[in-house]
Amino acid sequence: MLSPARSATATATVLRSLRASQLPIRRYGLGAGGDRLASTLAILEQRDGKLSQASLGAVTAGKKLGGPIHAFVAGSGSKSGAAGEAAKVDGLEKVVVVENAAYDHGLAENWAPLLAETIKKGGYSHVIASHTAFGKSVLPRVGALLDVQPISDVTAIESEDTFVRPIYAGNAILTVQSSDNTKLLTVRQTAFPPAEAGSGTAAVEDGADPNVPSATEWVSENLTKSDRPDLGSADRVVSGGRGLKSKEEFDRLIPPLADALGAAIGASRAAVDSGFADNSLQVGQTGKNVAPQLYLCAGISGAIQHLAGMKDSKVIAAINKDADAPIFQVADVGLVGDLFEKVPELTEKLKALK
């Protein structure tokens, strides 16, 4: 308690320390060139000691904020593997690592207390994860523990407290200002490309491990194996829809075209629901968001839920027999015709170009 008898100097000292303990509050309203005190924790994902490139979008987003960026990795082999990889990424001041197999499967029940502890200890003003299945599952739970309203699927950072994100399946773009002391963000992968490994020499430091057991037990996983580029980060994507009529036709026509272009394969929800393609290939509001250089689709009408997942592609090309299909309203290159003729022809001609 402050007593009135205290000297002005002492009061000022106390006030300063009080303010210092509330840095995140004081920070707002300082314009460019002001005393920027943002400090960011970028949560990275790793598997068997190998860093997930996709999760490095969190570092890219952190760079937009100014202040120092610390990266965080946890799980088996993260100390010997992923942390070292992360330390090379340019722009990182420190890599905080927790080596504990309990965090291997990204279970929200033990990850949330782990992150909450790390965030409190480091006094971070911003915590960023990629908008992946992991980020989506864990970060809101951290929000519950810190009493913070998280902001998901951020596509642009306007300032330390103002963020842009799509709503209504990308039919509207929302700019929000957060009044929370700690900003919890998940960022869209296609809007924040992975930060690249460079000549960085960030310090690697052990983090605190609260060791809260998970009430959920991980049993198994079944990942779709593919030699093709990853859908979420591919430069080119070839996508098929209901117009392909069957799984046999999908498998006959789409993979060769994708191979001719060195592209990843995607699918519309209709194609996935009809069993033509695996659901991990789904592009759209409820599937993956992609923004490749070229998005080439065949037999997709262009429902708004699908457009939400691909309309930030640089060039959109469509083959569809219905000249009035909505896909042609967004396609830069549209070809009206029967995909059963056009796709094989295109595949052959592209191969001939190589």
Partner 1 sequence: MATKLRILVPIKRVIDYAVKPRVKADKTGVETANVKHSINPFDDLSVEEAIRLREKPREKPLPVEDILVVSAGPPKTVELIRLALAMGADRGLLVDVPESQPLEPLTVAKLLKAVAEKEESNLIFLGKQAIDDDAGQTGQILAGLLNWPQATQASKVEIDGDNVTVTREIDGGVETLKAKLPMIITTDLRLNVPRYATLPNIMKAKKKKFEKKTLKDYGLEAFGRLKTVKVEEPQPRKGGGKVEDVDGMIGKFKELGVL
Residues numbered 64-103 forming contacts with partner 1, rule: CB under 8 A: none
Q: Does 170 bind partner 1 (CB under 8 A)?
A: yes
Expressed in angstroms, the distance from the first to the final Cα of the chain is 77
1: exposed, middle or buried (C-beta count within 10 Å: 0-12, 13-18, 19+)?
A: exposed
170: left (phi over 0), alpha (psi -120 to 50) or beta: left
Residue 181's Cα: distance from chain center in Å? 22
Which residue, 11 or 226, is less far from partner 1 as judged by CB? Answer: 226
Which residue, 248 or 273, is less far from partner 1 as judged by CB? Answer: 273
Piece in contact with partner 1 (CB under 8 A), picked from 57-65, 82-90, 92-100, 142-150 = 142-150
CA gap 270, 267 in Å, rounded: 8
Q: Does 176 bind partner 1 (CB under 8 A)?
A: yes
CA gap 99, 103 in Å, rounded: 8
- Count of other CB atoms within 10 angstroms of residue 47: 16
Minimum distance of partner 1 from residue 216's CB (angstroms): 4
Q: Does 140 bind partner 1 (CB under 8 A)?
A: yes
- Nearest CA to 157 out of 253, 72, 225, 64 is that of 64
Chain position carrying tokens 């951290």: 142
Beta strand pairing status for 294-298 and 236-240?
parallel
Q: Which of 46, 178, 190, 239 contacts partner 1 by CB under 8 A?
A: 178
With beta carbons less than 8 A apart as the criterion, state whether 79 and 204 touch.
yes
- Nearest CA to 65 out of 43, 86, 40, 94 is that of 40
Q: Which of 5, 222, 227, 324 contacts partner 1 by CB under 8 A?
A: 222
With beta carbons less than 8 A apart as the criterion, state whether 79 and 88 touch.
no
36: exposed, middle or buried (C-beta count within 10 Å: 0-12, 13-18, 19+)?
A: middle
Q: Does 169 bind partner 1 (CB under 8 A)?
A: yes
Which residue, 35 or 147, is less far from partner 1 as judged by CB? Answer: 147
Name residue 167's beta-bridge partners.
Answer: 172
Q: Does 219 bind partner 1 (CB under 8 A)?
A: yes
Q: Which of 14, 198, 315, 322 contacts partner 1 by CB under 8 A?
A: 315
Q: Which of 105, 228, 245, 252 contacts partner 1 by CB under 8 A?
A: 105
Q: Helices 108-122 & 133-146, crossing angle to 10 degrees?
A: 60
Q: Which of 80, 149, 201, 211 contacts partner 1 by CB under 8 A?
A: 149
**Positions 4 through 43 that interact with partner 1 (CB under 8 A):** none
With beta carbons less than 8 A apart as the criterion, state whether 283 and 300 touch.
no
Binding mask 292-311 for partner 1 (x = CB under 8 A): -xx---------xx-----x
Which residue, 43 or 294, is less far from partner 1 as judged by CB? Answer: 294
Binding mask 237-276 for partner 1 (x = CB under 8 A): --------------------------------x---x---
Q: Give the count of residues interacting with partner 1 (CB under 8 A).
A: 90
Q: Does 277 bind partner 1 (CB under 8 A)?
A: no
Q: Which of 13, 17, 201, 279 contacts partner 1 by CB under 8 A?
A: 279
Q: Does 283 bind partner 1 (CB under 8 A)?
A: no
Which residue, 92 or 107, is less far from partner 1 as judged by CB? Answer: 107
Q: Which of 17, 22, 80, 162 contacts partner 1 by CB under 8 A?
A: 162
